[in-house]
């Protein structure tokens, strides 16, 4: 996943993504990565927006008939 206009180095972005997926708070991730907490908060917010954008795109495809909704496994 790529975040536009992010000035952080790639390895720090990947570390932040790892902590985002793990469910840690932005403040804890910032201290573990070694960046300012506001930077981590902004990065986490952009990640949440990107995930929501992708989910809305898939939902629109389901509504328009492009994809079939997932069926639960029995």
Has residue 15 been placed in a domain? yes
* Residue tagged 């180095």 (tokens): 9
CA distance 10 to 26: 17
Has residue 56 been placed in a domain? yes
Has residue 50 been placed in a domain? yes
Mean pLDDT of 57-65: 63
Q: Whole domain around residue 48: which residue ranges?
A: 10-63
Has residue 3 been placed in a domain? no
Residue 51: band (very low, low, confident or very high) from pLDDT cuts 50, 70, 90? confident
Residue 46 has pLDDT above 70, yes or no: yes
- pTM comes to 0.67
Has residue 40 been placed in a domain? yes
Give me the pLDDT at residue 10, please.
72
Domains: count for the chain: 1
Has residue 71 been placed in a domain? no
CA distance 6 to 13: 9
């Amino acid at each position: 996943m790529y975040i536009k206009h992010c000035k952080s180095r790639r390895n720090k972005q990947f570390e932040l993504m790892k902590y985002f997926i793990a469910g840690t708070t932005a403040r804890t991730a910032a201290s573990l990565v070694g960046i300012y907490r506001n930077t981590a908060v902004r990065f986490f917010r952009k990640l949440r927006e990107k995930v929501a954008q992708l989910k809305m795109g898939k939902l629109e495809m389901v509504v328009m008939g492009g994809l079939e909704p997932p069926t639960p496994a029995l």
